[in-house]
A and B are shown apart, each in its own frame.
Chain A
Amino acid sequence: MRAAVLTAVIALTVFAGASAVERTPSYRFPWKEAGLTEREAAAHLLNRFSYGPCPGEIDRVLKIGLDRWFERQLAGRQAEPGLERLDALPALSMPARRIAEVYPPRAVALRQGLQGYRSQRELIGQLMAQKLWRAAGAENQLTEVMTDFWFNHFNVSLTDNQARGYVLSYERDAIRPNALGDFRGLLGATARHPAMLLYLDNAQSAAPMVDRPSRSDFEALPRTRRPRGLNENYARELLELHTLGVDGGYNQADVIQVARAFTGWTLMPPGPRRLVAEAKLRRAEGLGFVVEDEFLFRADLHDVEEKVVLGRKLPAGRGVEDGEEVLDLLARHPATARHVAHKLAVRFVSDEPPRALEERLAGVFLKTGGDTREMLRVLATSPDFWSRRTVGAKIKSPFELAASALRATGGRIEDPRELAGWIARMGQPLYAYQAPTGFPDRGEAWVNTGSLLQRMNFGLQLAAGRIGGVDLDLADLNGRREPASRDEALQVYAGLLLPGRNLEPVLAQLGPMIHNPELAKKVDAGSRAPRPLEQVVGVILGSPEFQRR
């Protein structure tokens, strides 16, 4: 394990040293044709391929060049000076197996009489912290955006108490390294990860007829999830959500065949039971068992009969290669290409993306073997992406809203808990969407009466410094120059927080609001009322304009 980490570090260093991964762009973005100014174009690019502009970032992007900025983001190899504090999160550097030992579920700890363990709450706190810190402070923003996108595509949930302890390593080991890579890599990594194996129950799926004596030798599964025959959940969602899509041309018979192909895909037991399992596995050498980190292929639970998946025959008598071949088949299927193309277009262009764009993306998917970078290049160079209709057309998710507000204000997250609570109240409990569909990526799903109200409150309270664990220095944003009036404050701060946008209508709308006598009232010393500048910023952050990207 240590050797592997070391190799990875060396590989990273080599990569970072060689600028070869960062391509010189051979394209230009068609923003001029769409009638945008270069500044508007830079803002649009940042709003879509990052969590929103930081103070001064538009100017920096203009200086580098929009296309070069984008290529750097695609390469994802920039140094991360702002993320040094990730070192303070111990679980981030623990292998999944160690995490399970250090942060066991409470019930397990009690049952096994463990001493000196740490709570899963702490683990989840670290999971939240790293996500929020990275979104707010990472240089490689697109890596963060795509990590979020693919996590949601291959959703697992903290609400599942079996999967809970594996969610951090799932994102770190299965999603993040593949976020800008190829689709097959992602698919394989998610299929083998304990979080997915537990969340969609493949860990308890066994050949319907097997009942061999060896079976009870491998008590690899948590107590309530002993094999009870074939479980179709992973197979169904693999087809419907991860690859082909709901209209992808498969039927219930395919679901069962796929489920049979994945029988025996399970995980190594955590804790002391792992040693026992390893000893047994040594005795079972040559029988087709496979162990790779936490993944365990149990040949004794695998259905060895012939299967036919989407018309392709998987011959009898095989083992783990059945599942791998199904993944190969699905990863290059045209329906998968269309499904992934649609989701990417929805994420980056609009809730109802043009069909022609989706088809082009699907074509690139098939041609490149599902290369995420190539698909993102096609997106970013398409006229649809730059059209005026697209600019500002997406409603930010609660997480995007929070991340963009922190970036825009230069806010610093000391303790993520209250912030995560706000994001949940606005309708997006992080890592906790219970259904395997992931959060719906549409405006209507994010905006309802309750959540909209919370968005306004979030803006007001963030600006007023009322969100615990988050530090803002609004005066610093403007180089400590104090605006002489509310109007000036509005003008200056709207420019700072909504860079590259046409401010005239915004100012015309916000102007009367900040002159409301109650808001304009002089704030007495010692009062809990927010200062005028905080009020102005709160109104901007809560405004309709700031909800859009």
Chain B
Amino acid sequence: MLTRRLFLKAGGIALFTLGAGPRFLARTALAAQGPGPHARRKVLVTIFQRGAMDGLMAVPPVGDAALRALRPRLAMSAARAAGDQAVTDLGVGFGLHPAFSPLLPFWQERRLAVVHAVGSPDSTRSHFDAQDYMETGTPGRKGTPSGWLNRAVGLLGHEGSPFRAVALTPALPRSLYGDAPALAVTDLSQFRVRLPGAEKVASAAGAGFEALYQQTSEELLRDTAGETFRAMDLLTPEEIAGYRPAHGARYPQSPLGQALRQVALLIKTEVGLEVGFAESAGWDTHVQQGTVNGSFARQAADLAASIHAFWTDLGSGYQDDVLLTTMTEFGRTVRENGSGGTDHGHGSCLFVLGGRVDGGKVHGRFPGLSADVLYEGRDLPVTTDFRAVFCELAGKHLGVKDDGQLFPGWTGGRVPLLRA
């Protein structure tokens, strides 16, 4: 029933299927071989919140007078008396927007941390530029050919599977541009030779193509095809169609929910995922941002429910392998605008979730919101460079050692977020 497949790459790639033996036997076999290329891997899962999340609504400083003054309609109270207007007091001087409540248990277990006043040192307020800079990892430089996640994969120092870096997005994100092979796919069930309505023909054609490509003299096509067909053996249509989230996890039907469901599938089928990428849209809340309801709350609820389902689905068997982080291109103005929303700002916050996370804390230096500290007189300043966070995550979780190669030009060190 449970088939453990091993994936080796040594010169060419060889694949071994260890029959239908019990999983622990396969594990023993793995352990005996030491941490080779086929070992179960650490996985970094990243969620890009496109549109710039309002970090001050997600994790507001509790009882901040400046915030209340600048946001007469948007500021929410943490007071119990305020009833359903209340944010959840995290007890560390910050609250959590109620729509993020599904994440509270992880906070209480100290697996979830927040990094506040985080962002890019570049002053741009253009979504495109700021996302580009965050994804290349080189603020202010557009010509960097590769993305930081691709460089992270290149720096892992071991061979990987075709499912090593997967973006559950329609097009390859800038974060994964680069020399290391990376897949972009929105629906894993399409990862096979397909001819809808004629499955048998498709599977025969697939077998034919496999033989055909084996014989070509063109090395790149031959080797890649070999890898492709082995990848399909690794992850069968039955396995994809038959995937059932465990432990009662219920993913939202949203694009993010379905993306994370497939990330979980890739992790739990042990096909060699090491970097997963998903995105969440709709954070550009210029108009009617709302408080307990409204556009912010809708996006927050979807993000929280998706992450909650993902983490639940992984269960204790896989949670220790996985580290999840969110990111967003910048924050939003402290002052609300005339349309009940907020405009493009600077610093925001991000969430980190994982077994080794120094959780239940708000990391980073939150400088307050008094007029004299605001960036350009209007925005939450950036006191933690996003590169200091990602170096820590890629460094401690994935074992990427060279921060200067991961983020060219970065000498600012790491912010401690993971326990040793």
Q: List 5 A-B contacts (CB under 8 A).
A: A228-B123, A392-B218, A448-B162, A457-B194, A513-B211
Q: Which residues of B contact A404 (CB under 8 A)?
A: none
Q: Please name 14 further chain A to chain B contacts, defined as beta carbons within 8 Å, in addition to the given A232-B140, A513-B209, sorted by A numbering.
A: A162-B126, A236-B143, A392-B218, A437-B143, A444-B220, A447-B220, A448-B224, A449-B183, A449-B224, A450-B183, A450-B185, A529-B197, A529-B201, A544-B225
Q: Which residues of B contact A440 (CB under 8 A)?
A: 145
B221-A516 in contact (CB<8A): no
The closest CB in chain B to the CB of A448 belongs to: B181
Q: Which residues of B contact A36 (CB under 8 A)?
A: none
Q: A424-B171, A539-B205 are in contact. Are A453 and B191 (CB under 8 A)?
A: yes
- The A/B interface has a contact count, at CB < 8 Å, of 160
- Please indicate which of the listed interface residues A432, A447, A450 has the most CB atoms of chain B within 10 Å of its own CB: A450
Using C-beta atoms within 8 Å of the partner chain, give the interface range for chain A.
Answer: 35 or more
- 6 nearest CB pairs, A to B: A528-B197, A513-B208, A518-B204, A544-B216, A529-B198, A449-B228
Stretch at the interface among B82-90, B127-135, B313-321: B127-135
Q: How far is the CA of A510 from the CA of B222 in the complex (A)?
A: 15
A443-B220 in contact (CB<8A): yes
Q: Which of B136, B182, B195, B218 contacts A460 (CB 8 A)?
A: B195
The closest CB in chain A to the CB of B211 belongs to: A513
- Say whether A13 faces chain B, with CB atoms less than 8 Å apart: no
Interface residues of A in 230-268 (CB under 8 A from B): 232-233, 236-237, 240-241
- Say whether A93 faces chain B, with CB atoms less than 8 Å apart: no
Q: A518-B203, A547-B221 are in contact. Are A453 and B192 (CB under 8 A)?
A: yes
CB 8 Å contact bits of B307-326 with A (1 = contact, 0 = none)? 00000000000000000000
B212-A510 in contact (CB<8A): yes
B221-A452 in contact (CB<8A): yes
Q: Which residues of B contact A448 (CB under 8 A)?
A: 162, 181-183, 224
A538-B205 in contact (CB<8A): yes
Q: How far is the CA of A449 from the CA of B210 in the complex (A)?
A: 12
- Say whether B193 faces chain A, with CB atoms less than 8 Å apart: yes
Q: Which residues of A contact B208 (CB under 8 A)?
A: 512-514, 516, 519, 539
Interface residues of A in 134-190 (CB under 8 A from B): 159-162
CB 8 Å contact bits of A458-482 with B (1 = contact, 0 = none)? 0011001010000000000000000
- Say whether B141 faces chain A, with CB atoms less than 8 Å apart: yes
What distance in Å separates the Cβ of A464 from its nearest Cβ neighbour in chain B? 6
Q: Which of B142, B191, B203, B344 contacts A237 (CB 8 A)?
A: B142
Q: A162-B126, A544-B212, A544-B213 are in contact. Are A435 and B205 (CB under 8 A)?
A: no
- Say whether A456 faces chain B, with CB atoms less than 8 Å apart: yes
Query: Interface residues, chain A, CB within 8 Å of chain B?
Result: 159-162, 200-201, 224-225, 228, 232-233, 236-237, 240-241, 392, 395, 424, 427, 429, 432, 434-437, 440, 443-444, 447-450, 452-453, 456-457, 460-461, 464, 466, 509-510, 512-514, 516-519, 521, 527-530, 535, 538-539, 542-545, 547-548
Q: How far is the CA of A427 from the CA of B171 in the complex (A)?
A: 8
- Please indicate which of the listed interface residues B174, B209, B344 has the most CB atoms of chain A within 10 Å of its own CB: B209
Q: Which of A160, A225, A435, A527 contacts B144 (CB 8 A)?
A: A435
Q: How far is the CA of A405 from the CA of B169 in the complex (A)?
A: 27
- Say whether B64 faces chain A, with CB atoms less than 8 Å apart: no
What distance in Å separates the Cβ of A474 from its nearest Cβ neighbour in chain B? 16
B195-A452 in contact (CB<8A): no
Q: How far is the CA of A449 from the CA of B181 in the complex (A)?
A: 8
Q: Which residues of A contact B123 (CB under 8 A)?
A: 228
What distance in Å separates the Cβ of A225 from its nearest Cβ neighbour in chain B? 7
Q: How far is the CA of A64 from the CA of B39 in the complex (A)?
A: 61
Q: Which residues of B contact A449 (CB under 8 A)?
A: 162, 181, 183, 224, 227-228, 231
Q: Which residues of B contact A547 (CB under 8 A)?
A: 218, 221
The closest CB in chain A to the CB of B213 belongs to: A544
Q: Which of B126, B179, B182, B207 contacts A516 (CB 8 A)?
A: B207
Q: How far is the CA of A542 from the CA of B40 in the complex (A)?
A: 34
- Say whether B172 faces chain A, with CB atoms less than 8 Å apart: yes
Q: How far is the CA of A228 from the CA of B344 in the complex (A)?
A: 15
The closest CB in chain B to the CB of A519 belongs to: B204
Q: Which of B129, B194, B209, B211 contacts A512 (CB 8 A)?
A: B211
What distance in Å separates the Cβ of B24 from its nearest Cβ neighbour in chain A? 30
Q: A435-B144, A435-B145 are in contact. Are A456 and B209 (CB under 8 A)?
A: yes
The closest CB in chain A to the CB of B146 belongs to: A435
Q: Which residues of A contact B132 (CB under 8 A)?
A: 434
The closest CB in chain A to the CB of B344 belongs to: A224
Q: Which of A432, A444, A513 contacts B212 (CB 8 A)?
A: A513
Q: Which of A434, A447, A464 contacts B195 (CB 8 A)?
A: A464
CB 8 Å contact bits of B385-408 with A (1 = contact, 0 = none)? 000000000000000000000000
- Say whether B283 faces chain A, with CB atoms less than 8 Å apart: no
The closest CB in chain B to the CB of A201 belongs to: B129
Q: Which of B128, B142, B185 contacts A162 (CB 8 A)?
A: B128
Q: Which residues of B contact A461 (CB under 8 A)?
A: 194-195
Q: A444-B220, A450-B185 are in contact. Are A460 and B205 (CB under 8 A)?
A: yes
A544-B143 in contact (CB<8A): no
The closest CB in chain B to the CB of A512 belongs to: B211
Q: How far is the CA of A542 from the CA of B123 in the complex (A)?
A: 48
B212-A200 in contact (CB<8A): no
Q: How far is the CA of A513 from the CA of B211 in the complex (A)?
A: 8
- Say whether B202 faces chain A, with CB atoms less than 8 Å apart: yes
The closest CB in chain A to the CB of B218 belongs to: A544
Q: Which residues of B contact A530 (CB under 8 A)?
A: 195, 198, 201
The closest CB in chain A to the CB of B132 belongs to: A434
Q: Which residues of A contact B218 (CB under 8 A)?
A: 392, 395, 544, 547-548
- Say whether B196 faces chain A, with CB atoms less than 8 Å apart: yes
Q: Which residues of A contact B184 (CB under 8 A)?
A: 450
Q: Which of B145, B194, B232 contacts A437 (CB 8 A)?
A: B145
A436-B126 in contact (CB<8A): no
B228-A453 in contact (CB<8A): yes
Q: Which residues of A contact B205 (CB under 8 A)?
A: 456, 460, 513, 519, 535, 538-539, 542
Q: Which residues of A contact B126 (CB under 8 A)?
A: 162, 224-225
What distance in Å separates the Cβ of B159 from its nearest Cβ neighbour in chain A? 14
The closest CB in chain B to the CB of A107 belongs to: B286
